[in-house]
């Protein structure tokens, strides 16, 4: 124990997941138990909520509703896409944060997000230290992209992967029901790392998945793509299902939507709007094959499908939040909670580890190239062995009321400024 | 009992659902028990499979796998979109059917589909009768559109509705997570009837659904649509979720994609490809509001999401198949199995009824106008009371293996021609 008494605050940042609320619940419930934590706050919309002194008083919430956060998708306290200005250019936001932390005597700071959030957490922590303000800052990981460095996997990934794999299995049943050709191009999230698209390989492993899988880790070659599709088209009587990451790009670095001319709609503000990867590829294939090609975007559904959340994921996301609190009150700062897997009697077990924020902040973990098949359109058994234990078991879904999920209902009482 | 000994065949037609296989299972398993049914066949791709003498020998399947069909989405024996030519123009296909039925001594015919399939079943039955071929023909309903006449609801609807309602609840959590404006236009299937889009009102009833719901039953007015959205946009800090049926059209009968010029891509075969309703509306709103608008299509996912299948739906779909067999062997012909609901001690109970095929064949049941709110953007409590019992309970999903669904694996052994 570090014996420093003070309030704790958590902020959440970046795209939500099915289990980011579970991590918030882990922080809230563990922090409420800690004798040295005098008050627990939830920042409204991450770092912006702290800058604006807009945070919720978690001590006034019902424990039952906080428990329900474990099975409530997305971020109940709000997320944000906001980067602090670089300290060397402008330190005013850092000063403002320090002012707010001092005003409310916040001594425990938890930031829940991906690489950028870990970078923010690290910078804030360093600034506080340099200004002699004692505050324990811990990162809590989250991302469906699964691209955080030095952790076996990230909270949010397994649930999204379970959704993607299940959905591809179902789509295979549906899309191949007629005796006429049917090509479907299914777009999965993941701008730089192909982890989530790779999850479609779990469906293929079960015999009911995509025929071809394209990850951003492999340079995308349109001519090769045509050949790949034509080959399967012939072999499978015109029934082809393709999984493609939104982030695939050519060796010249061009994203798929940039490969076609005129695929740029300009709105009234002059913003360029690129067509999606799936719809562009579907149009190109339609021309090439002369058959119906259906683009399908899994869109937001893949990151909020709580009804298919993976058990381990919910537990680990909650655990990551709780572990961060335990570490902070014992005097640890500037680390992110990470995961290490072990197998005990062949059974998957997740161990919590601590990774220096600095190491996580500026690195990105991609799918290892040796886990991608030589033809660049599938995953090896190594990936299957990696991913399958993460998604095992029944979904850890919200309790039902009238057959529909009962999500947490927080009071969300703002702390008086 | 009618004492007519012979084989039975089932064909499936039209867009699949999460439970159309459950109806096939009902027919198969009940038919295998019947002493007067000498052999059970499954037509490969509906009526086309019968015309081509391509059908599977169900007697050779394992009962365990047939049971698993209850929780396997889409049609394992294949569906078809094929209409017989009108009898008065060309009777050759009807003669061919009669020839095939005679060759295999098929005396029990079950056709599983929507309005068109009931029409086909009815015409085939009449032709057989006029040609003195004794054959008992029964329709088994299926459609996520829920638009079959004289039945309280249709197998397939409740599961798709449970998926739509759950997904809207999750999307609401996700899409409103930032403190910046976010408008989402979510497109739901239903070309003429708005039943499935209406299911989004169940999410709204639970406090986590769309703000505005547009059904094809109400003429679509673009100017009113802009006003509706702008009103919610102001009230809800720019966070608006809209549910729209793919089939909404103006009072002049134009579909949304036909409202904008140049929204027609022509492929190399000269086929017109209309942009989707959601993407067209999203682009229009983007221009109008000057903010990000995200189009989301629920696409095939809404009709094959077996992992959220409704319990009653699976049971009733199976029951409809089994009831059709029982009726046929007892001498009933030319009817479709339908549903009537009762409440026993306040508990929903579904009763099977028989509806003449002729009455179902050429009618369409739409959402009653009095169930749509006066402003045309929501559903009344009458709809909620109608739909809620259908989706109650835990999902009736497939057993899991490695955390993923274990769907039926049929041997699919073709009958020798």
pLDDT tens profile B240-256: 999 999 999 999 999 99
Q: Find, in chain A, the residue whose alpha carbon is nearest to that of B309.
A: A403
- Sort out which chain B residues have CB atoms less than 8 A from A268's CB and list them: 287, 290
Q: What is the mean pLDDT of residues B194-214?
A: 98
pLDDT score recorded for residue B185: 97
Q: Inspect the interface and report whether the beta carbons of A307 and B391 lie closer than 8 Å.
A: no
pLDDT tens by residue, A113-139:
999 999 999 999 999 999 999 999 999
Which of B177, B204, B387, B394 is most worth mutating to test chain A (most A CB atoms within 10 A of its CB)?
Answer: B177
Tell me, what's the pLDDT at A397? 97
Instruction: Supply the pLDDT for residue B257.
Output: 87
A76 contact residues in B (CB cutoff 8 A): 173
Mutate which: B22, B142, B161, B174, vs A, most A CBs within 10 A = B174
**Average confidence (pLDDT) over A388-400:** 98
- pLDDT attached to residue A304: 97
Lowest mean pLDDT among A258-267, A347-356, B44-53: A258-267
Residue A266 has pLDDT above 70, yes or no: no
Q: Is the pLDDT of residue A367 over 80?
A: yes
CA distance to partner chain A, nearest, from residue B242 (Å) = 15
At B272, the pLDDT band (50, 70, 90 cuts) reads very low
**Average pLDDT over chain A, rounded to an integer:** 94
Candidates A179, A189, A293, partner chain B, best to mutate (most B CBs within 10 A): A179
Q: Which candidate from A268, A392, A395 shows the least CB-CB separation from B290? A: A268
| Of the candidates A124, A149, A162, A140, the residue with the CA atom closest to the CA atom of residue A305 | A162
Q: What is the mean pLDDT of chain B?
A: 94
pLDDT at A238 over 70: yes
pLDDT for res A268: 42
B221 is catalytic: no
Mean pLDDT of B60-83: 96
Task: Specify the residue for token string 């694996």.
Answer: B409
Percent of chain A with pLDDT over 70: 96
Q: Is A343 exposed, middle or buried (0-12, 13-18, 19+ CB in 10 A)?
A: exposed
Say if the Cβ atoms of B72 and A306 lie within 8 Å.
no
Residue B184 has pLDDT above 80, yes or no: yes
> What's the pLDDT score for residue B264?
52
The alpha carbon of residue A403 is apart from the nearest alpha carbon of chain B, in Å, by 4
What pLDDT is recorded for position A273? Answer: 47
Residue of A39 and A362 predicted with greater confidence: A39
pLDDT of residue B275: 63
Lowest mean pLDDT among A79-93, A184-198, B126-140: A79-93
- Mean pLDDT value of segment B5-19: 96
Q: Distances from the Cα of A216 to the Cαs of A63, A219, A247, A377, B373, in angstroms?
A: 42, 7, 5, 11, 47
pLDDT at A270 over 50: no
Q: What is the mean pLDDT of residues B172-185?
A: 93
- pLDDT for A176 equals 87
d(CA B272, CA B283): 20
- Residue B301 above 70 pLDDT? yes
Q: What is the mean pLDDT of residues A315-324?
A: 98
Q: Please write down the long-range contacts of B48-52, taking CB distance under 8 Å and 24 or more positions apart.
A: B48/A179, B48/B80, B48/B82, B49/B11, B49/B77, B49/B78, B49/B80, B50/B9, B50/B11, B50/B97, B50/B100, B50/B101, B51/B93, B51/B96, B51/B97, B51/B100
> Residue B300: helix, strand or coil by DSSP?
coil
Tell me the count of A-B CB pairs closer than 8 A: 182
Q: Indicate whether A267 pLDDT > 50.
A: no
Residue A274 pLDDT grade (very low, low, confident, very high; cuts 50, 70, 90): low
Q: How far is B202 from chain A, CA to nearest CA, in Å?
A: 9
| E strands, B46-95, in order | 55-57
Residue A40 bridge partners (DSSP) = A8
Neighbouring residues of A1: CB distance < 8 A, sequence distance ≥ 6: A36, A329, A330, A331
* pLDDT surpassing 90 at residue A13: yes
Residue B1 pLDDT: 67
Instruction: Place B168 in a pLDDT band, splitting at 50, 70 and 90.
Output: very high
Nearest to A80, CA basis, from A116, A29, A107:
A116
Query: Residue A269: pLDDT above 60?
Result: no
Q: Nearest C-alpha of chain B: how many angstroms from A303?
A: 8
Smallest Cβ–Cβ distance between B404 and the set A45, A206, A299 belongs to: A206
Instruction: Tell whether the model's pLDDT for residue B266 goes beyond 70.
Output: no
CA distance to partner chain A, nearest, from residue B197 (Å): 16
CB A190 within 8 A of CB A217: no
- Complex confidence, ipTM: 0.96
Q: What was the pLDDT predicted at A32?
A: 98
Q: Is B273 a residue whose pLDDT tops 50?
A: no
Please say whether the beta carbons of B302 and B160 come within 8 A.
yes
Q: Which whole number is the average pLDDT over A77-104?
A: 94
In B, which residues are within 8 Å of A290 by CB distance?
A: 267-269
Closest Cβ opposite residue A404 in set B202, B273, B299:
B202
Give the nearest partner residue to B306 out of A78, A170, A403, using CB atoms. A170
Report whether pLDDT(B270) > 80: no
Q: Which residue of A has its CA nearest to B312?
A: A403
List, by residue number, the catalytic residues of A: 145
Q: How far is CA B135 from CA B42, B57, B101, B132, in A?
A: 17, 19, 9, 9
Q: How far is CA A225 from CA A209, A243, A298, A344, B291, in A?
A: 18, 12, 21, 42, 35
Give the pTM.
0.96
């Amino acid at each position: 124990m570090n014996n420093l008494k003070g309030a704790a605050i958590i902020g959440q940042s970046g795209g939500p997941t099915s289990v980011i609320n579970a991590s918030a619940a882990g922080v809230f419930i563990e922090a409420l138990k800690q004798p040295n934590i005098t008050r627990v706050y939830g920042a409204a919309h991450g770092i912006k909520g702290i800058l604006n002194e807009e945070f919720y008083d978690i001590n006034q919430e019902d424990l039952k509703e906080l428990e329900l956060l474990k099975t409530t998708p997305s971020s109940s306290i709000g997320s944000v896409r906001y980067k602090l200005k670089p300290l060397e250019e402008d330190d005013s936001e850092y000063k403002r944060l320090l002012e707010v932390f001092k005003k409310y005597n916040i001594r425990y700071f938890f930031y829940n997000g991906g690489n950028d959030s870990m970078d923010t957490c690290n910078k804030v922590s360093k600034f506080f230290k340099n200004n002699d303000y004692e505050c324990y800052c811990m990162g809590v990981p989250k991302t469906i992209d699964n691209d955080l460095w030095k952790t076996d996997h990230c909270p949010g990934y397994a649930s999204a992967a379970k959704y993607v794999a299940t959905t591809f299995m179902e789509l295979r049943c549906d899309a191949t029901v007629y005796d006429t050709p049917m090509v479907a191009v299914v777009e999965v999230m993941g701008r730089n790392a192909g982890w989530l698209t790779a999850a479609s390989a779990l469906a293929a492993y079960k015999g009911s998945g995509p025929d071809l899988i394209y990850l951003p880790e492999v340079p995308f070659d349109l001519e090769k793509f045509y050949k790949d599709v034509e080959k399967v088209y012939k072999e499978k009587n015109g029934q082809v299902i393709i999984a493609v990451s939104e982030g695939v790009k050519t060796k010249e670095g061009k994203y798929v939507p940039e490969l076609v001319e005129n695929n740029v709609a300009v709105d009234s503000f002059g913003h360029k709007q690129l067509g999606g990867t799936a719809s562009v590829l579907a149009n190109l294939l339609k021309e090439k094959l002369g058959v119906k090609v259906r683009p399908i975007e899994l869109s937001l559904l893949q990151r909020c499908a709580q009804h298919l959340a993976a058990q381990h994921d919910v537990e680990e996301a909650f655990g990551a939040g709780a572990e961060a609190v335990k570490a902070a009150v014992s005097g640890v700062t500037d680390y992110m909670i990470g995961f290490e897997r072990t197998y005990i009697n062949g059974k998957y077990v997740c161990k919590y580890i601590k990774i220096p924020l600095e190491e996580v902040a500026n690195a990105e973990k991609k799918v290892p190239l040796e886990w991608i098949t030589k033809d660049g359109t599938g995953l090896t058994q190594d990936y299957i062995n990696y991913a399958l234990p993460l998604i095992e078991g029944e979904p850890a879904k919200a309790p039902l009321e009238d057959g529909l999920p009962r999500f947490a209902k927080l009071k969300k009482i703002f702390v008086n400024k």
